Structure 1
Amino acid sequence: MRQNPSFAMADVVELRRLVDENPWTTLVSATADGLVASHYAVLLDDDRDDLTIVGHVGKPDDLIHGLGERELLVVVQGPHGYISPGWYGDVAAVPTWNFVSAHLSGIPELLSPTENLRVLDRLVERFERGMPNPRLLWERPNDPDFVTRLERGTVGFRLTPTRIVAKRKLSQNRPDDVVETIIAELGAGSGRYTDPRLPGEMQRDLDTRRAAR
């Protein structure tokens, strides 16, 4: 991802929020057979306050990625959407795409079975807690043998990124009134190719920049 100083995202608190709110990620590795990509949910490591993440892959994805042996790129994709040039007013303009994204790179550490079970338990709890009738990992009809077999079919990892490239492109290069128009258009459903969270993310960014002036 090409970086642009105007859109660079470096605040750890904001980056942690991005990861926490967008746990479905893309894992990319360079192998002898070319690039390989997989898709898995990750969590922030609850023992750390940096950008260390934990997750798992199903076997044999650990071997395909060379997990623990070579660099892994984790792509975190936040809210994004198409921006029409018609929202800029009567000026020369072209379409663009607003987005928030982070690339976390490093060589992951493999987790022990006990650590992996804890991460799997956290993952299930994270996504089930919003359900009307949550089904947690250790609850019946699951039994310990079932959970143990589940863990054996996965490989857990912890990644403390040694390289971070993050970008928040939310029309910061446009006047406030134009940004407000874009937010209104997105909020009204004008953007067919838009994450519904994007106008809120843009409003949050605009409010933060105004408060800092």
Structure 2
Amino acid sequence: MYLPRHFQEQDPERLLAFMRRYSFATLVTVEQGAPFASHLPFLVEPGPEGSQVRLLAHMARANPQWRALSPDTDVLVMFQGPHTYVSPSWYLTEPNVPTWNYAAVHVYGRPRIITEQDEWMRVIRELVTTYESGFEQPWSVERAGEYVPRILPGTVAFEISVSRVEGKFKLNQNRTPEDRRAVMERLERSDDPEQRAVGALMRERDT
């Protein structure tokens, strides 16, 4: 993606935390010269020695995209964070124009389809555990009995060994500290939770 120097985010821990926080991401492949995308929840794990990270997910077997998952071809996974319009009236200096503040992480790597049932089930269990963890009485795969193993053939699990991560946190870093602070405080006071999330990200990035 277009990545001006002042918007680059290169801190590995911050990028990893961002991907885990906004883990419902977009998988993009290219088939016969045309892009194809699926929206999927991903597990984000430390990679094997020598790699940055690995991603784990699954999709319906009826989704034709799985046929494009080849260990010989890179795929792209896009993690989208909070975003918001920024009015020029929020700045302290003039002249200005509108802009959009946002954070996104693009991950590139080679996929591998998981065929071993034990590993397949681990992906399912880890996904469920991750997304149930905030509930008072988390649901577990075991409660479904034999139902989950029976439906596994209708899904395709895969992992992506990551080769490159690009982080773009476009949060007014090209503005003066005073202008940046004015936008941040405006967003933090907003009634819109999306705007408050952008404000919180700006404050975290400035610390």
Give yes or no for TM over 0.5. Answer: yes
Q: How does 1:1-16 map to 2 (within 5 A)?
A: 1-16=1-16
CA contact (8 A) 1:82 1:193 kept: no
Decide whether aligned partners of structure 1 residues 30 and 88 sit closer, same or farther in structure 2, where only a CA change above 3 A counts: same
Q: Which runs of 4+ in 1 moved over 3 A?
A: 46-49, 62-65, 192-196
Q: 1:96 maps to what in 2?
A: 99
Decide whether aligned partners of structure 1 residues 62 and 160 sit closer, same or farther in structure 2, where only a CA change above 3 A counts: farther
Can you list the C-alpha shifts for 1:68-95, whole angstroms capped at 9, x where unaligned?
Answer: 3532110011222111111112401111
Identity of aligned residues (%): 27
Q: 1:211 maps to what in 2?
A: none
Deviation at 1:193, TM superposition (A): 9.1
Can you list the C-alpha shifts for 1:2-32, whole angstroms capped at 9, x where unaligned?
Answer: 1111111222111101111111000111101
Q: 2:154 maps to what in 1?
A: 153
Deviation at 1:137, TM superposition (A): 1.3
Q: 1:174 maps to what in 2?
A: 175
Task: Give, as a single letter, the amino acid of the residue that structure 2 aligns with 1:109.
Answer: R
- Aligned with 1:160: secondary structure? strand
CA contact (8 A) 2:92 2:182 kept: no
Which ranges of structure 1 fall in alignment gaps of 5 or more residues? 208-213
Aligned length: 203
Decide whether aligned partners of structure 1 residues 39 and 84 sit closer, same or farther in structure 2, where only a CA change above 3 A counts: same
CA contact (8 A) 1:75 1:102 kept: yes
From the two aligned structures, give the one with the greater strand fraction: 2
Decide whether aligned partners of structure 1 residues 133 and 13 sit closer, same or farther in structure 2, where only a CA change above 3 A counts: same
Q: How does 1:1-213 map to 2 (within 5 A)?
A: 1-32=1-32, 34-45=34-45, 48=48, 50-61=52-63, 63=65, 66-69=68-71, 70-111=73-114, 112-139=116-143, 142-143=144-145, 145-189=146-190, 194-207=194-207
CA distance in 1, matches of 2:84, 2:194: 4
Task: Give, as a single letter, the amino acid of the residue that structure 2 aligns with 1:125.
Answer: T
CA distance in 2, matches of 1:62, 1:116: 19
CA distance in 2, matches of 1:38, 1:195: 26
Which ranges of structure 2 fall in alignment gaps of 5 or more residues? none
CA distance in 2, matches of 1:104, 1:175: 30
CA contact (8 A) 2:36 2:65 kept: no
Deviates more, 1:1-10 or 1:20-29: 1-10
